[in-house]
């Protein structure tokens, strides 16, 4: 059970730290309101790196269904473990968002609009174009999964790998964040989106926006699958 527990708790930590940055920067009553995109980039990079260091030895620190499916495609884990990993990740993502809804309760209660609250937990496009939005999440996750496959091979089994994961997250955010918020992870987007839908207060126009939300659910998985086959083709490990 240890790998599944590690994925659940690690994903919860990732969402608490990552979406916590969004709450901290975007909610009107926060003491760090308006800290900006650099704050978000650094915070999200750390939000992934800290649980990766903590749980990497226990589960491989996937915290992302796209990463898990990619690892299985490349032969790094048994396919029988994949459903349990994904369930643990999604439950962890929901729990992490629920914790933030408690911690930021007073600030959320003072926030006048639903859209800002949703934006603390789920991503959205700056320009709504389903094809281009899908491609943005696809390519961001392609780079994420491809590099996560390559880094351990080049760095060996060391803590350096987890430090470089920070670099990958920050790089993807710096390049793709302005398009769709660079979800790259259903457990980071769909699970907190559901928590927002079920647990957040209604300011009069509460909308989890599943009309867009299917994109950060599906596109990262497609990007991760293609990245894994591309990695195997390029490095001849198929």
Mean pLDDT of the region 42-60: 92
pLDDT tier, 223 (very low <50, low <70, confident <90, very high otherwise): very high
- Which pLDDT score is estimated for 197? 97
pLDDT at 161: 74
Residue 79 has pLDDT above 70, yes or no: yes
Q: What percent of the chain has pLDDT over 70?
A: 96
* Model pLDDT, residue 157: 60
Higher confidence at residue 132 or residue 61? 132
For the chain, which domains are there?
2-235 (1.20.1080.10)
Mean pLDDT across 40-64: 93
Q: In Å, how far from its chain's centre is CA 141? A: 10
Predicted TM-score (pTM) of this structure: 0.94
Nearest to 41 by CA among 220, 171, 185: 171
Q: What mean pLDDT do residues 149-165 have?
A: 73
Angstrom distance (rounded) from CA 90 to CA 100 = 16
Rounded Cα distance, 81 and 62, in Å? 12
User: CA 118, CA 23: separation in Å to the nearest integer?
Assistant: 10
């Amino acid at each position: 059970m240890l790998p599944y527990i590690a994925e659940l708790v690690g994903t919860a930590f990732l969402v608490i730290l990552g979406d916590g940055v969004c709450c901290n920067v975007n909610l009107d009553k926060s003491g760090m309101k308006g800290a900006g995109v650099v704050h978000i980039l650094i915070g999200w990079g750390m939000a992934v790196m800290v649980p990766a260091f903590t749980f990497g030895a226990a589960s491989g620190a996937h915290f992302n269904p796209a990463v898990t499916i990619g690892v299985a495609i490349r032969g790094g884990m048994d396919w029988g473990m994949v459903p349990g990993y994904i369930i643990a990740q999604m439950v962890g993502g929901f729990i992490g968002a629920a914790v933030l809804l408690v911690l930021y309760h007073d600030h959320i209660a003072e926030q006048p609009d639903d859209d800002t609250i949703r934006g603390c937990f789920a991503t959205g496009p700056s320009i709504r174009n389903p094809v281009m939005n899908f491609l943005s999440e696809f390519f961001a996750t392609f780079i994420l999964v491809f590099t996560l496959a390559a880094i351990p091979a080049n760095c060996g089994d060391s803590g350096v790998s987890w430090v470089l994961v920070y670099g990958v997250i920050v790089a993807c955010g710096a390049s793709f964040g302005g398009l769709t918020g660079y979800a790259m992870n259903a457990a980071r987007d769909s699970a907190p989106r559901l928590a927002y839908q079920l647990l957040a207060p209604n300011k009069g126009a509460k909308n989890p926006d599943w009309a867009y939300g299917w994109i950060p659910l599906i596109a990262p998985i497609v990007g991760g699958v293609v990245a894994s086959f591309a990695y195997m083709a390029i490095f001849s490990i198929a």
